């Protein structure tokens, strides 16, 4: 089977997903098109040079609806003969776009793809597409649906994580993120966002709060306690599913959960012949990809079984992985991953994560693949694994290996 290589990985900075955020006036299609233009310019691509643009976005309604991928191609400087495919695997949409593209290349269905994703959470509200699992009683009752924040608190309760542990992880994420920016570790990947006049409107991740301390987090109220204990009483739903629990320990809040932000990311994937034809040097090969379904109520445990699956399928062990990117949707997700595999915190999210940067749903999966690649190169290491939990109970993972 043909190998699939990563030739480039880039992203926009993440903007605050609210009216005072720097990217609030930029539409989803415009941000996507600007990043596609960056991939074209960075790699000297001309003509019908890639087979397809596969683009993830989660809330596929309004300006993010109508096959956003194709719209972005048409707005960009790419050749109009390049089609576009919009996909949605919730929080792993950007990663699934990359994985799908890689597997298409491996199967011989085209020499190269641009894959990634976008989410403008400040412009298209999360949940505004009316997901059936949350709003259709016939499905919500069958699956014991609870909101993701409750799911995160169930994980904390089930696996014994305290608020202090979650807050400490959040403080460390902020510290690492600030250090990474201070040392310019993202320089290879960041594509500044410019306005119509060519002026830079955002060149850094603006959601970070490097002043965060245990004391400042300690002053925050749990975000999901009232919806769990009072109305609509989701704790009772959870305990119907998990009767061995006599309560839910609500430890998550705005400081130890991922932030609502805007952003986009892209990865250029191709076979060996594509690189030779265009004078490009591969940075890594995509060694393995995986996805899995999990319990839809606790919902966010996917990184553990999908990592077990991808390692098993590829004949690897956890010791073969040099660095991990585990999306920080909530602190308990990462705590559970490290607990399950006995992985050192020194190998996980070494430049911070979504608790510091925010989580632009459709883009994050592609972002963390680029992040782990950059860091493998910086440290002269070989192999990285990126993984995310996914709404409604799924997990996705990608293993890359430098070449």
Residues with a catalytic annotation lie at 91, 359, 389
Q: How many C-alpha atoms does 81 have within 13 Å on its Cβ side?
A: 6
Pair type for strands 200-202 and 112-120:
unpaired
For the stretch 121-153, pLDDT in tens is 999 999 999 889 999 999 999 999 999 999 999
Band (231; pLDDT cuts 50, 70, 90): confident
- Mean pLDDT over 178-187 rounds to 98
Crossing angle of helices 331-341 and 148-159, in 10° steps, is 40
- Mean pLDDT over 275-285 rounds to 98
Tokens 């012949």 correspond to what residue? 273
Contact 6, 268 (CB under 8 A): yes
Q: CA distances (Å), 172 to each of 161, 355, 359, 373, in order?
A: 16, 10, 17, 21
For residue 232, what pLDDT is reported?
Answer: 78
Contact 326, 303 (CB under 8 A): yes
- Mean pLDDT over 259-288 rounds to 98
Instruction: Supply the mean pLDDT for the chain.
Output: 97
For the stretch 78-92, pLDDT in tens is 999 999 999 999 999
- Mean pLDDT over 297-326 rounds to 98
For residue 1, what pLDDT is reported?
Answer: 77
For the stretch 12-56, pLDDT in tens is 999 999 999 999 999 999 999 999 999 999 999 999 999 999 999
Q: Indicate if the pLDDT at residue 398 is higher than 90.
A: yes
Tokens 């993984």 correspond to what residue? 387
Vertex 121, ends 120 and 122: CA angle to 5°? 95
How far apart are alpha carbons 344 and 349 in whole angstroms? 11
For residue 196, what pLDDT is reported?
Answer: 85
If DSSP codes are grouped into helix, strand and coil, which group holds residue 45? coil
DSSP string, 75-89: HSSS-TTS-EEEE-B
% of the chain surpassing 70 pLDDT = 100
If DSSP codes are grouped into helix, strand and coil, which group holds residue 16? strand
Q: CA distances (Å), 54 to each of 14, 100, 120, 278, 366, in order?
A: 21, 8, 17, 21, 11
Structure tokens at 212: 């965060």
Q: Residue 308 is inside which H or E element, if any?
A: helix 303-314
pTM value > 0.85: yes
Could you tell me which of 339, 362, 367, 335 has the C-alpha nearest to residue 351?
367
% of the chain surpassing 90 pLDDT = 97
Q: CA distances (Å), 106 to each of 230, 336, 353, 368, 372, in order?
A: 51, 33, 30, 22, 22
Structure tokens at 332: 């308990």
Count other C-beta atoms under 10 Å from residue 353's C-beta. Answer: 30
Task: Name beta bridge partners: 98.
Answer: none
How far apart are alpha carbons 50 and 15 in whole angstroms? 29
Ranges assigned E (strand) in 219-303:
261-270, 284-293
Could you tell me which of 397, 363, 299 has the C-alpha nearest to residue 91?
363
Count other C-beta atoms under 10 Å from residue 168's C-beta. Answer: 16
- Mean pLDDT over 292-310 rounds to 98
Characterize 244-274 residue by residue with b for buried, 16 or more Cβ atoms within 10 angstroms of its Cβ, and e for exposed.
eeeebbbbbbbbbbbbbbbbbbbbbbbbeeb
- Mean pLDDT over 382-393 rounds to 98
Tokens 């924040």 correspond to what residue? 149
Determine if residue 114 is left, alpha or beta; phi over 0 gives left, psi from -120 to 50 gives alpha, anything else beta.
Answer: beta
Residue 401 phi/psi, 5-degree rounding, is -140, 125
Count other C-beta atoms under 10 Å from residue 368's C-beta. Answer: 28
Count other C-beta atoms under 10 Å from residue 19's C-beta. Answer: 9
Contact 22, 206 (CB under 8 A): yes
């Amino acid at each position: 089977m043909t190998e699939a290589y990563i030739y480039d990985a880039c992203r926009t900075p993440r903007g605050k997903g609210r009216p005072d955020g720097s990217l609030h006036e930029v539409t989803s299609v415009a941000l996507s098109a600007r990043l596609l233009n960056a991939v074209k310019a960075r790699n000297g691509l001309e003509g019908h040079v890639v087979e397809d643009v596969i683009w993830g976005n989660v809330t596929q309604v309004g300006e993010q609806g109508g096959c956003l991928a194709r719209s972005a191609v048409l707005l960009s400087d790419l050749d109009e003969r390049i089609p576009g495919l919009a996909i949605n695997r919730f929080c792993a949409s950007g990663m699934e776009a990359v994985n799908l593209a890689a597997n298409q290349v491996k199967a011989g269905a085209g020499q190269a793809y641009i894959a990634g994703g976008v989410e403008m959470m400040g412009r298209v509200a999360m949940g505004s597409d009316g997901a059936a699992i949350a709003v259709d009683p016939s499905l919500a009752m069958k699956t014991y649906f609870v909101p993701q924040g409750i799911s995160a608190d169930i994980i904390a309760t089930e696996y014994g994580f305290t608020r202090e542990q979650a807050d400490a992880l959040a403080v460390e994420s902020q510290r690492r993120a600030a250090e990474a920016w201070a040392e310019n570790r993202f320089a290879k990947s960041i594509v500044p966002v410019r306005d119509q006049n060519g002026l830079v409107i955002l060149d850094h991740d603006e959601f970070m709060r490097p002043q965060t301390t245990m004391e400042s987090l300690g002053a925050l109220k749990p975000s999901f306690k009232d919806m769990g204990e009072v109305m609509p009483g989701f704790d009772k739903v959870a305990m119907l599913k998990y009767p061995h629990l006599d309560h839910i320990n609500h430890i998550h809040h705005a400081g130890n959960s991922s932030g609502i932000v805007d952003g986009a990311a892209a990865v250029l994937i191709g076979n060996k012949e594509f690189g030779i034809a265009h004078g490009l040097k591969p940075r890594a090969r995509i060694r393995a990809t995986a996805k899995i379904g999990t319990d839809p109520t606790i919902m966010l445990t996917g990184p553990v079984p999908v990592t077990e699956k991808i390692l098993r399928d590829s004949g690897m062990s956890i010791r073969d992985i040099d660095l991990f990117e585990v999306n920080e949707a909530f602190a308990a997700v990462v705590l559970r991953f490290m607990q399950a595999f006995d992985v050192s915190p020194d190998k996980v999210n070494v430049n911070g994560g979504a608790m510091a940067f925010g989580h632009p749903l459709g883009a994050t999966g592609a972002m963390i693949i680029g992040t782990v690649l950059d860091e493998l190169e910086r440290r002269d290491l070989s192999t990285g694994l990126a993984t995310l939990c996914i709404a409604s109970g799924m997990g996705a993972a990608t293993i890359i290996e430098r070449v």
